[in-house]
Structure 1
């Protein structure tokens, strides 16, 4: 695979990266025997369309259930949902949202695509009034959080009822508000952490999509209308992750605003550890914690 230095090489790297993802250990843990998979096209505001995968119980339930929209890298979440039977337990429709990628499509294109897709997702045969959860891990967590804030401000109907926020990209160091920046030390402590994300990789990712770091569409810590009146958040943070402290800062800001938050921290493990090392005890803890969080977010729906 070419070195991660030139964004122009990304298109050439994608087939190898997709093949590598299919070979990840977590793929062997997926039980798809009772899950139906289909593909539909999402249309965006400029007339472009992309395919999106959606999943539902293979046996048609008596009534429709909640909707879960996942922003990639969330394939591991699909594995989790299928393995833990949440699709069956809640008759859930799960959508793996697609959007156009950097570096061909710069910030904020992927945000616009993600918002268009979220509005479209409610047409897929689920009943979002029984629960509408948006989820994302890593960069997908960043997108999911932005969707949450947009949905609140633009009064999306049916409303989102919960967010699953897994080792998220909340903000790069230069996007953290100045008064909070001294609390973020993970970017130096964990610059050479093992796994999928180190300082070099993170810098390369930013170079690819070139965000406006002061924009709330990049970091919800800078959202103009604040964090109040948001639904339930499930937040998972890794101790050896460069993204750790910004995630914890965001949890504190949510709690200060009166938002219900379930926080789970996994000490001593790096970003995406559950994807790389699914047999680990802490990876099993993460899957258990997510099951409890989904049940919590669907309470009372």
Structure 2
């Protein structure tokens, strides 16, 4: 979206978010939700929305930790956007789910979003079951940080990655070996919200260094090796489809354990508060199976 449209879209998105959150119904009696914040290295702070089982963690195993970043083209959105998977993961897997935010465009340019995400990881480390994930632009943040966590020696180490409908490539950085497979920008024009033009508008506002490792894990000095098991989800009709497909293939070819779900009739959508009766019937089920796999519970 154009920079001039962002303030009104942000206000509208805030209203849109609340209705599907309300539609999820009351919070399960076994869960609790609350807000917190974490300090950023430059003196700012960012908001966290935490969903967890009530009571103390089990003395032996503890609660696994899942950190999720929301989508919104780096311009709009909040932790509420991942309330559906946050509640589902917390309930089924007895996990603490942290919906972490990042500062938004146009006020904050690249690489602020990645730096905020990195600060969030340092604020919520855990020794057991440490999953990092996100949806859409949040998946972009998560994929970059999975690579950074390996390269920077984050400790405790991440144990899994959850990457849903990410944007990871632009024409200039597509590896030559995958160039023939990067076609979805041209093939998929059905989604009115995510188009070549809207993606370019995001880039124009973001002003990223497209060759930086903070833009894409493909730019890392030694990409894709030594990462934890990673789940990738793509929509067959999404203009960003091939970003996810190529990412999963690159991970797999470099020895990373992967799991992939492709929904042939889905555009740029996932198991968030905006999933509805028209979503693929197995979208929620497969999302839960993927997290079960990442947590080693299968």
Q: Tell me the SS of whatever aligns to 1:152.
A: helix
Alpha-carbon distance, 1:12 to partner: 4.0
- Point out where structure 2 has 5 or more consecutive residues left out of the alignment: 72-78
- Equivalent residue, structure 2, for 1:135: 133
Confirm or deny that 1:20 pairs with 2:23.
no
How many equivalent pairs are there? Answer: 287
Cα 1:157–1:87 shift into 2, 3 Å: same
Give yes or no for contact 1:227–1:253 (8 Å, CA) kept in 2. yes
- Equivalent residue, structure 2, for 1:261: 258
- Equivalent residue, structure 2, for 1:172: 170
Structure 1 distance, partners of 2:22, 2:159, is: 29
Structure 2 distance, partners of 1:199, 1:27, is: 33
Give yes or no for contact 1:39–1:52 (8 Å, CA) kept in 2. yes
Q: TM-score, normalised by structure 1?
A: 0.88
Give yes or no for contact 1:98–1:114 (8 Å, CA) kept in 2. yes
Q: Tell me the SS of whatever aligns to 2:33.
A: strand
Query: Pairwise mapping of residues 1-301 of structure 1 onto structure 2 (< 5 A)?
Result: 4-5=1-2, 7-24=3-20, 28-29=23-24, 32-34=27-29, 35-63=31-59, 64-73=62-71, 75=80, 77-82=82-87, 84=88, 86-122=89-125, 128-190=126-188, 192-194=189-191, 196-272=193-269, 274-275=271-272, 276-280=274-278, 282=280, 284-299=281-296
Structure 2 distance, partners of 1:185, 1:37, is: 41
Give yes or no for contact 1:195–1:270 (8 Å, CA) kept in 2. no
Structure 1 distance, partners of 2:48, 2:140, is: 19
Q: Tell me the SS of whatever aligns to 1:22.
A: helix
Q: Tell me the SS of whatever aligns to 1:23.
A: helix
Structure 1 distance, partners of 2:278, 2:94, is: 29
Cα 1:44–1:156 shift into 2, 3 Å: same
- The superposition leaves residues 156-201 of structure 1 with CA deviations (integer Å, 9 ceiling, x where unpaired) of 11110001111111213333234433321110111x3235312222
Cα 1:115–1:265 shift into 2, 3 Å: same
Q: Which runs of 4+ in 1 moved over 6 A?
A: none
Q: Tell me the SS of whatever aligns to 1:159.
A: coil
Alpha-carbon distance, 1:262 to partner: 0.3
Identify which range, 206-215 or 158-167, moves more after superposition.
Answer: 206-215
Alpha-carbon distance, 1:67 to partner: 0.6
- Equivalent residue, structure 1, for 2:75: none
Give yes or no for contact 2:65–2:131 (8 Å, CA) kept in 1. yes
Q: TM-score, normalised by structure 2?
A: 0.88
Structure 2 distance, partners of 1:293, 1:13, is: 32
Q: CA RMSD in A?
A: 2.2
Cα 1:43–1:281 shift into 2, 3 Å: closer
Cα 1:175–1:21 shift into 2, 3 Å: farther
Alpha-carbon distance, 1:140 to partner: 0.6
